[in-house]
A and B are shown apart, each in its own frame.
Chain A
Amino acid sequence: MIHIKRLQEDGADVLALVGEIDASSSIDLDLAIARSVGEGFTKILIDCSSLEYISSAGLGVFMSYIEEFKEKNIRMVLFGMNQKVANTFEILGLNELLQITASKAEAKQKLV
């Protein structure tokens, strides 16, 4: 189960992921990002501080947007991951392909 809280800060759309993202819930993440893009946001922050678990289904959602975001000049930064979630990204080397920071402040700097 994943809950996605959404708020806007300094022109960025902030999606806070609360709970676990697996094969049953990754669609919710996909829809939330798609909605943000659909509404014209070009700065998207993903707050992972309450994300307890992510499987490849969730990683795949982030991966699937990389190319589109490059084309449309949309910036997405993930921040606040706990160690276990960060490890999941690192096993596959996705930390090299995605923008990931420790804090929200650092994430915002990457949007400037």
Chain B
Amino acid sequence: MKYSYSVGCKLENLKDLRNFIRDSLGKHGVTEIYVSEIVLALDEMCSNLMIHAHHCNPKDMLEVNIEINAGKPLVFEIIDDGSVFDINQFAEPDLNNLVHDKRKGGLGIRLVKSIMDKIEYTQMSGRNVCRLQKEVNL
């Protein structure tokens, strides 16, 4: 089963995106704690893209796909046309450094890497595809 959602790059749209993810996963009996972690990880990915690759231009669109197949890991795709923002290229900041520098950023990447099993970037028809995987028991 595949679910798709298109969202303009405006931070106020994140709430509806989270609801789309919750609803899609909820239909397949994904447990609540997994749902909340996945919602969080995709929120982090999309807000990063909105801010850093699209400068919150609401005319720029992100496409979010969720693929749910029994016996397979959940697959999430985030597709956009912006500059590539590859979180694998970013070192996870040390928590103590974050505290010391009073920095507010850097935590999102840590969260995504902790939650998702696999994060890959590819190009498809000139668009950026970020594919994330998460193994859950359905």
Contacts and interface: CB of A to CB of B under 8 A. Distances in A.
B59 interface: no
A67 interface: yes
B51 interface: yes
Interface residues of B, number: 31
B37 A60 contact: no
A61 interface: yes
A69 to B, nearest CB: 11
Dominant SS at the A interface? Answer: helix
A22 B47 contact: yes
Contact of B104 (A20, A22, A24, A63): A63
B32 interface: yes
B11 interface: yes
B100 A88 contact: no
A68 B101 CA distance: 10
A83 B33 CA distance: 8
B103 A64 contact: yes
A61 B39 CA distance: 20
B104 A61 contact: yes
A53 B43 CA distance: 11
B12 A56 contact: no
A24 B33 contact: no
User: Counting chain B CB atoms within 10 Å of each CB, which of A24, A66, A67 scores highest?
Assistant: A24
Interface of B: 11-12, 14-15, 18, 32-33, 36-37, 39-40, 43-44, 47, 50-51, 95, 98-100, 102-108, 110-111, 114-115
20 contacts: A20-B18, A22-B43, A23-B11, A23-B51, A24-B11, A24-B15, A53-B39, A55-B47, A59-B107, A60-B98, A60-B105, A63-B98, A63-B99, A63-B103, A65-B102, A66-B99, A84-B33, A88-B40, A91-B37, A91-B111
Given A22-B18, A55-B44, A65-B102, 14 more contacts: A22-B11, A22-B14, A23-B47, A24-B14, A53-B18, A53-B39, A56-B44, A84-B33, A87-B36, A87-B37, A88-B36, A88-B111, A92-B110, A92-B114
